[in-house]
Amino acid sequence: MCDTTPVMIVHGGAWAIPDDLAEASVNGVKKAVCAGYQVLLQGAAAVDAVEAAVCMLEDDPAFDAGTGSVLNFDGEVEMDAVIMDGHDLRAGAVACVQNIAHPVKLARMVMDKTDHVLIVGKGANQFAKEMRVETVPTEKLVTEEAVRELEYYRKYKSTVNSLFKTRDDVLGHDTVGAVALDCMGNLAFATSTGGISAKRPGRVGDAPIIGCGGYADSKVGGVSTTGHGEAIMKICLAKNIIHFMEQGLSPQEASESALRSMAERVSGSGGVITISNHGNVGKHFTTERMAWAWLKEGQMHYGLNPGEDFVTQYSVQ
């Protein structure tokens, strides 16, 4: 039955986004939220909407996912992605996958076509081959910024600790994510990332881990996260937000509380987007910036800097 007002929210990663990427990041999330919302308006499932929105963000070189992914210490691209359907808690994820343009689509295939939840590395690429997913040469996914970033971070011993903390971190990463509530009242989320610059080969972050990089339960809410993956995993950031919402906090209060607790307990920073099963929205970040946009009842809200909330009318793209 189609009696719920659809809601769509996306993020383009929480970090110290430099000024020269600011406009591209905001435009990218605005376009992606419209793409997902359009899918919802056609009466499709939330899981289709988050896949469509994240695919668009993976194609956008302004973001660290698909094309635009950052490089690991060996100069290779290793990507993580996840998708979850809050209707029945089905989920699919891939980690350390290489040479494909849309890791989120492969995550969807893990969910729809296997008995597993997470497939990594060689196995993930083998699965992609079986599914006849087209491979792309690494060069197609790599941007000049990603190469510059690797050179910059190779100078640091501990990337994860330097990336998310100071305001001087002008180079970084921007994982993408989406959460949707469809007209049947179901929630879904998807998150996709190239991870963090100069990570060890084989490093897997929070993104593909259910409850960390996101969670969707149509009885409570949906969440997608971004930020310091090692910190996010330690406190299961997404599931924590769901837990706070179950205790009666609004999506905004739950998002703020969980990020506060991540800072206090494990000194980590990041960002989150959240929708409750009632269609209320939350978004919060403890990094310098995060590009985000959400759409409900034809009105788009978006922002980049703390405290921003611009509103504009949705128009069919």
Please say whether the beta carbons of 26 and 77 come within 8 A: no
Query: In 3-state terms, what secondary structure has residue 245?
Result: helix
Starting from the edge strand earliest in sequence, which strands make up the sheet with 214-217, in order? 214-217, 221-227, 270-276, 281-285
Question: Which residue, 6 or 195, has its beta carbon nearer to ligand ASP?
Answer: 195
Judged by CB under 6 A, which of 196, 249, 273, 295 binds ligand ASP? 196
Contact yes or no for 27/298 (Cβ under 8 A): no
Residue 175 appears among annotated catalytic residues: yes
195 binds ligand ASP (CB under 6 A): yes
- Part in contact with ligand ASP (CB under 6 A); list of ranges 3-11, 23-31, 151-159, 191-199: 191-199
Quick check: 284 and 271 in contact, CB under 8 A? yes
Smallest distance from the beta carbon of 301 to ligand ASP, in angstroms? 21
Q: Report the nearest approach of ligand ASP to the CB of residue 144 (Å).
A: 19
We find the least distance from the C-beta atom of residue 63 to ligand ASP, in angstroms, to be 10
Tell me, by CB under 6 A, how many residues bind ligand ASP: 15
Q: Are 178 and 50 in contact (CB under 8 A)?
A: yes
| Nearer Cβ to ligand ASP (87/284) | 284
Q: Are 83 and 144 in contact (CB under 8 A)?
A: no
Strand ranges across the sheet with 310-313: 118-120, 90-97, 79-85, 187-193, 176-181, 7-15, 289-296, 299-303, 310-313
The reply on whether position 118 binds ligand ASP by CB under 6 A is no
Q: Which lies closer to ligand ASP via its Cβ, residue 169 or residue 182?
A: 169
Length of the chain: 317
From the CA atom positions of the chain, what is the Rg in Å?
Answer: 17
Distance of closest approach, residue 149 Cβ to ligand ASP, in angstroms: 12
What gap in Å lies between CA 260 and CA 267, rounded to an integer? 9
Question: Contact with ligand ASP (CB under 6 A): which of 207, 210, 220, 223?
Answer: 207
Q: Which of 159, 175, 225, 226 is catalytic?
A: 175
Binding of ligand ASP at residue 68 (CB under 6 A)?
no
Nearest-approach distance from CB 1 to ligand ASP, in angstroms: 36
Q: Which of 6, 66, 92, 229 binds ligand ASP (CB under 6 A)?
A: 229
The interface region with ligand ASP, picked from 20-28, 48-56, 189-197, 296-304 by CB under 6 A, is 189-197
H helices, E strands: number in the chain: 10, 13
Cβ atoms 7, 181 nearer than 8 A? yes
Active-site residues, by number, are 175
Give the residues lining the site for ligand ASP (CB under 6 A). Answer: 13, 15, 173-175, 193, 195-196, 205-207, 226-227, 229, 232
